[in-house]
A = this chain, B = another copy of it.
């Protein structure tokens, strides 16, 4: 667990420590003791705590970090961890960031249920803020996250998926939680409505950039740095932006279609990966990610020029530059 970490989190370092305590506290709060080891395992996934950092920063555009803001920031991270748990279970993943997944240790049955528990634990924390708008936003976000994941499952090995469906999917599965992290921080900090809207818009665009970069790294990253094989999305039948661009640019190329209809055709898969990497599609995908980053930065322009705004700008740069 990183409480130190990238420079942008320095602004909220002390509050992030409170968030860590709150997250760890879930294990002790649990009524049935038998569940504690699973929860502890689920909560120990290392991470940069980007989402709670965003919530904490957003609150400081109003009255700043209160107990409610800390609750909200940790709820946002708990929700993120719950979705990772269900994702890993759905994907039957055995490791994440070098650690055995919960489903690998206790089986998919327990993993599904511990995920449910964490969804509910995060929602319960949000309830404790007693802010109806924030609570409703959070529940809606869980719907968005799951519908984004369902869309991904529904369109597996479907080579007809288009750019608009991709945008709909990543908006639901990723950008929605980034937007909510900021919006709820600003709301609980009692920021002005225009500020709330600006931060939510920053969050949504940041989330979109984040996911596009994630999808680019799957084609272009370093397997060792990523901790997973390159080209995994396409190999697993998930069409992301670079692959969609390949299909748009070379409509006559049958590599992806051939692999999707016969998954023993690893040669076609390798061929598609090669074209994506050598045709300028990666660069073009970066342009898309940068466009989202720029929109995120523009949303910040109307906000006061302070350390928090600097940190948000830095996060936007970090997101598009990261290698994992």
Contacts and interface: CB of A to CB of B under 8 A. Distances in A.
B117 A38 contact: no
Interface string A122-143: 0110111010100110011011
A76 to B, nearest CB: 15
A89 B117 contact: no
Contacts of A113: 86, 90, 146, 149-150, 153
B142 A116 contact: yes
A34 B132 contact: no
Contacts of A123: 123, 139, 142
Interface in A85-144: 86, 89-90, 107-110, 112-117, 119-121, 123-124, 126-128, 130, 132, 135-136, 139-140, 142-143
A30 interface: yes
B35 A151 contact: yes
Most buried by B among A124, A147, A151: A147
Interface string A194-234: 00000000000000000000000000000000000000000
A130 B127 contact: no
Nearest to A150: B113
A36 B128 CA distance: 32
A112 to B, nearest CB: 6
A172 interface: yes
Contacts of A130: 132
A146 to B, nearest CB: 4
A38 B147 CA distance: 11
A139 B116 CA distance: 11
Interface in A25-77: 30-32, 34-35, 38
Contacts of A30: 147
Q: Work out how many copies of this chain go into the complex.
A: 2
A119 B132 contact: no
29 contacts: A30-B147, A31-B147, A32-B151, A34-B150, A34-B151, A34-B154, A34-B155, A35-B154, A107-B153, A110-B150, A110-B153, A112-B112, A113-B146, A113-B150, A114-B150, A116-B116, A116-B119, A117-B146, A119-B120, A120-B140, A120-B142, A120-B146, A123-B123, A123-B142, A124-B140, A127-B135, A127-B136, A128-B136, A135-B135
Given A124-B139, A132-B132, A140-B124, A150 B32 contact: yes
A147 B32 contact: yes
Interface in A151-173: 151, 153-155, 168, 172
Contacts of A35: 147, 150-151, 154
A153 B151 CA distance: 29
Contacts of A132: 127, 130, 132, 135
The 3 closest A-B pairs by CB, nearest first: A120-B142, A116-B146, A127-B136
